Structure 1
Amino acid sequence: MSFSHPLLLAFALLVAAGLTTGAVLAARRRYAVLAAAGVALPAGRRIHPGVWLSLAGVVLLAVASAGPAAALPVARSAGTVILAMDVSTSMGAADVSPSRLAAAQQAALSFVDAQPESVDIGVVGFDQGALTTSPPGVDRVATRAAVQDLRLAGGTSLASAILGSLSAITGKAVTVGEDGTLPDLGSWSSATIVLFSDGENGGGRGEDGAGAPATAAAATIAQNAGVHIETVGVGTATGATVEVNGYQLHTALDTDTLTTLAQSTGGSYHPASDAAQLDSVASTIDLRLTVATQDVPLAGGITAVALALLAAGALLTLARTGRIV
């Protein structure tokens, strides 16, 4: 146990000790007077129990005034969360109002607001590449600004999203070797990637036309490091048409790709078809629980016990003598 005001504790205990000494001396004088008058008191009953209870309450109040705290293990959401935001051209589709990107941004902001200060949050925007727009940290203003400043550009590379997010988590560039060698990142089990995307996986760095091989390799790196990927599907199965370089292209939500990606790392897929549903995603994503030692204030509980003792002492004294003191 520690005390925020140890000098106050010493002073308060001295006062409590003085009151106790005074009560004992007063009881002895009373006993001597009664003994001189020929009145014998039962052994061990020179001081009434009500007085002892009151003195115990005073001592506890003295302890509470010093700001006691105990270092206890506390479970809490902690670690690092990377919001990987798809900014590819297909995210401009309006099958989710007002657009997929706008709805994803709204959901991401709700997610940020719902997280405790113990969670470091970073933002990675990705199309065919990935750029850390806000490194992991507790500055929620910077995080929100990074999410709001995202703009549409290019195609989609889920592999780039994963590798960029892992780079933000570890603080160093994470890539797949030219010979397919996967880097060993060590353990980052307190980190989670929350990936907002429509799942349409176009060619990216090191990918074929479908993007599957490099995406699987990137997901394996995350899995080996203990990093869960939670995917949030933005869009509808019906889809919509967007204009890209003067061409009309149809785009639709690819739930299979996002589900497979999440499950391969121990994460989950979270479907959503409109902005209202996306807002609720924050409460459905499981963050890691860690146990940390934290100083828990005890003054409130000790004060409550002290007041209860004082009240009990006063009632016993009143019942015996007809007066509180």
Structure 2
Amino acid sequence: MSLGGFTSPWWFLLLLVLAALVVGYLWAQRVRRRDTLRFSNLQVLERVTPKRQGWMRHGPIALLGVALVLLTVGLAGPTSEQKIPRNRATVMLTIDVSLSMMAKDVDPNRLDAAKLAAKEFADKLTPGINLGLVSFAGTATVMVMPTTDRGAVKQAINGLTLSEATATGDGINASMQAIDSFGKMIGGAEGPPPSRIVLMADGGQTIPREPDAPRGAFTKAKEAKNANVPISTISFGTEHGTIDIEGEPQEVEVDDAAMEEIAQLSGGEFHKAASTEQLRSVYNTLGEQIGYEIKRTDASKPWLALGTLAVIVAVGAALVVGQRLP
């Protein structure tokens, strides 16, 4: 553990005192040996002095030194990184429900697979996260405002139905508005909670045609960046998806490049999922990233406990070995 991991590293100055005590102890042992050798009658000395225990007589002092080191480390305030569940955050799950989601390149089809994975994501998300739901096709709809009621979110996921066109920018915009409204309601003195959009889609937008248009996905991704709302995108599907429109098969290839660009412009991450298993894996990863945060917490208790235990053992050993305290 580096010095940067301690809250009060100046306590380590006590180790200088400990070093001085060690030097003093060694010097006292040397003086004692010198004075003993000056005794004129060694036979009498052997009768009047207690039998020496050799190296064991130094054991209590050594244990006491170890105890002082452990206690010094504890007093210096060591810290450690721990994964702590978030108790204050907002996530908008934003799902594409355009007709391309009926493609069966993912079993049983893209939409049903997405529903199942999204519900599992809701179940596994830590309880303190407020989760909302937005669906989008030609327009965007806020199905559920952010809430800790997972049942309401899963019920809304079950009710997702397909519609024509893909207005990805509108989906992002609706999610941002929901986050903003919710943040104003619960912000308080601490301000709005940290927020994120999880955008799952299988293709590029069709309304408007240009992603850089005012309503476009790239424009809204930049606005999300400015609002400090990163977008985690999930490009779901394969390059071989098709749907039937009026009896004619039509290819609905996923647009990974557009989804990756949205994530990059917003300061979020891009994920690719070409199967139900991969989608579940992505959601599990996002659940870990969103639901938990790494914090440095106090780790002094084990050091203090071990130091105290070492003191007790040192005192006990001194009484047994030398019939006196060290």
TM-score scaled by length of structure 2? 0.60
SS at match of 1:271: strand
Q: How far off its partner does 1:109 sit? A: 3.4
Of the candidates 218, 225, 228, which is equivalent to residue 226 of structure 1? 228
Relative distance call for 1:227 and 1:314 in structure 2 (3 A) is same
Q: How far off its partner does 1:197 sit? A: 0.5
Higher helix share: 2
Q: How far off its partner does 1:88 sit? A: 1.7
User: Using the alignment, how far apart are the partners of 1:197 and 1:229 within structure 2?
Assistant: 12
Question: Equivalent residue for 1:99?
Answer: 109
Aligned AA for 2:277? A
Q: How far off its partner does 1:253 sit? A: 0.9
Deviation per residue, 1:194-247 (Å, 9 max, x gap): 1011123122xxx3x456512133222212112111210111112212347x76
Of the candidates 202, 208, 220, which is equivalent to residue 206 of structure 2? 202
User: Using the alignment, how far apart are the partners of 1:321 and 1:87 within structure 2?
Assistant: 83
Aligned-residue CA RMSD (Å): 4.2
SS at match of 2:92: strand
Aligned AA for 2:109? S
**Contact kept? 1:189, 1:226, Cα under 8 Å:** no
User: Using the alignment, how far apart are the partners of 2:118 and 2:166 within structure 1?
Assistant: 19
User: Using the alignment, how far apart are the partners of 1:114 and 1:321 within structure 2?
Assistant: 61
Range moving further from structure 2, 79-88 or 235-244: 235-244
User: Using the alignment, how far apart are the partners of 1:112 and 1:279 within structure 2?
Assistant: 12
Residue 193 in structure 1 maps to residue 197 in structure 2:
yes
SS at match of 2:118: helix
SS at match of 2:156: helix
Question: Equivalent residue for 1:24?
Answer: none
Residue 112 in structure 1 maps to residue 114 in structure 2:
no
Q: How far off its partner does 1:116 sit? A: 3.4
SS at match of 1:97: coil
Range moving further from structure 2, 255-264 or 272-281: 255-264
The correspondence of residues 28-43 of structure 1 with structure 2, limited to 5 A, is none
The correspondence of residues 199-278 of structure 1 with structure 2, limited to 5 A, is 199-203=203-207, 207=208, 209=209, 212-213=212-213, 214-215=215-216, 216-243=218-245, 248-278=249-279
Question: Equivalent residue for 2:320?
Answer: 318
Residue 166 in structure 1 maps to residue 170 in structure 2:
no
**Contact kept? 1:232, 1:270, Cα under 8 Å:** yes
Aligned AA for 1:200? G
Provide the aligned length of Structure 1 versus Structure 2.
244
User: Using the alignment, how far apart are the partners of 2:176 and 2:248 within structure 1?
Assistant: 34
**Contact kept? 1:242, 1:251, Cα under 8 Å:** no
Relative distance call for 1:301 and 1:136 in structure 2 (3 A) is farther
Relative distance call for 1:307 and 1:255 in structure 2 (3 A) is same
User: Tell me, which stretches of 5 or more residues in structure 1 are unaligned?
Assistant: 1-48, 57-70, 174-186
**Contact kept? 1:230, 1:262, Cα under 8 Å:** yes
Aligned AA for 1:228? P
TM-score scaled by length of structure 1? 0.60
Q: How far off its partner does 1:115 sit? A: 3.6
Range moving further from structure 2, 282-291 or 193-202: 282-291
User: Using the alignment, how far apart are the partners of 1:124 and 1:271 within structure 2?
Assistant: 20
Question: Equivalent residue for 1:36?
Answer: none
User: Using the alignment, how far apart are the partners of 2:198 and 2:164 within structure 1?
Assistant: 21
User: Using the alignment, how far apart are the partners of 2:143 and 2:130 within structure 1?
Assistant: 14
Relative distance call for 1:114 and 1:305 in structure 2 (3 A) is farther
User: Using the alignment, how far apart are the partners of 2:148 and 2:308 within structure 1?
Assistant: 39
SS at match of 1:163: helix
Question: Equivalent residue for 1:179?
Answer: none
User: Tell me, which stretches of 5 or more residues in structure 2 are unaligned?
Assistant: 1-59, 68-78, 184-190
Question: Equivalent residue for 1:279?
Answer: 280
SS at match of 2:273: coil
User: Using the alignment, how far apart are the partners of 1:85 and 1:77 within structure 2?
Assistant: 25
**Contact kept? 1:91, 1:100, Cα under 8 Å:** yes
Q: How far off its partner does 1:192 sit? A: 1.5
Aligned AA for 1:106? L
Q: How far off its partner does 1:136 sit? A: 2.1
Q: How far off its partner does 1:307 sit? A: 4.5
Q: How far off its partner does 1:299 sit? A: 7.0
Aligned AA for 2:240? T
Aligned AA for 1:101? L
Q: How far off its partner does 1:121 sit? A: 2.3
Range moving further from structure 2, 159-168 or 149-158: 149-158
User: Using the alignment, how far apart are the partners of 1:222 and 1:74 within structure 2?
Assistant: 29
